[in-house]
A = this chain, B = another copy of it.
Amino acid sequence: MNKTGVLTVVSGFSGSGKGTIMKELLKKYPEQYALSISATTRSPRPGEIDGREYFFRTDEQFEQLIAEDGLLEYARYCDHYYGTPKDYVKEQLAKGKDVILEIEIQGALKIKQKYPDTVLLFVTPPSFEALKDRLIGRGTETLEVICDRLCRACEESKGCEAYDYLIINDHLDDCVKQVHEILQNEHARMSRNDEFLNKFRVELEAYRKENNK
């Protein structure tokens, strides 16, 4: 099987638990996965460290990255840039690590267009009721914010039909196992195994010539 890492984008409803799944995946298989770190021009929040939560950059630095095609994708929200630096992702893939990006749908679709081998996973709670309960259960948001989030969720899921897999997060452990299986079996995709197949054919052809058929 091929040794290059698989590029994966994970998106999902806020409250779907996608962050927890990724955290567990990295904890369980630290040798296999690498999490991509986004660059942003917004200021660090208390506790955020440059190079851990984000690469914090100035507008000039970010625009320089754009100019030199150094980003896999980028977007501007609320007067700040957010983007995925290309170098780190490429390095990790070359090392054979499967790289996970946690970004929203529009960015994911841009990446899929440029790199069709990217695997897109969309994480959802098992039902609308469960989503509501989880957002309330977090206890970190006011009811108004939760209402806003739910109302925006429909809008936010636009385009998710183009994703490869729908991951229904009912039980965390099952979900982590499923994501791991999907990503590991992705290495067996025919499109990732040209080299193996070509070698095999060259050997068959040589044998045929040797036997004058």
Question: Which A residues form the contact surface with B (CB < 8 A)?
Answer: 1, 122, 124, 127-128, 132, 147-148, 150-151, 153-154, 157, 160-168, 178, 181-182, 185, 188-190, 193-194, 196-197, 200-201, 203-205, 207-208, 211, 213
Q: Is the CB of B122 within 8 A of A208?
A: no
Q: Is the CB of A188 within 8 A of B165?
A: yes
- Bound-state CA distance A163–B204 (Å) is 20
Q: Is the CB of B204 within 8 A of A153?
A: yes
Residue of B whose beta carbon sits closest to that of A182: B185
Residues of B within 8 A of A153 (CB): 204
Q: Is the CB of B165 within 8 A of A189?
A: yes
Residues of B within 8 A of A165 (CB): 185, 188-190
Q: Is the CB of B204 within 8 A of A128?
A: yes
Q: Is the CB of B185 within 8 A of A151?
A: no
**A/B interface sample: 15 pairs, CB < 8 A:** A127-B200, A128-B204, A150-B204, A151-B204, A151-B211, A154-B201, A154-B204, A154-B208, A157-B197, A160-B197, A161-B194, A165-B189, A166-B197, A182-B188, A185-B185
Q: Is the CB of B122 within 8 A of A201?
A: no
Going nearest first, the 3 A-B pairs with the smallest beta carbon separation are A128-B203, A154-B204, A151-B213
- Bound-state CA distance A203–B157 (Å) is 13
Partner of A151, one of B154, B167, B207: B207
How near does chain B come to A130, taking the closest CB pair, in angstroms? 10
Q: A197-B161, A204-B128, A211-B147 are in contact. Are A166 and B154 (CB under 8 A)?
A: no
Residue of B whose beta carbon sits closest to that of A154: B204
- Bound-state CA distance A160–B205 (Å) is 16
How near does chain B come to A162, taking the closest CB pair, in angstroms? 8
How near does chain B come to A117, taking the closest CB pair, in angstroms? 13
Partner of A178, one of B164, B166, B188, B201: B188
Residue of B whose beta carbon sits closest to that of A203: B128
Q: Is the CB of B190 within 8 A of A157?
A: no
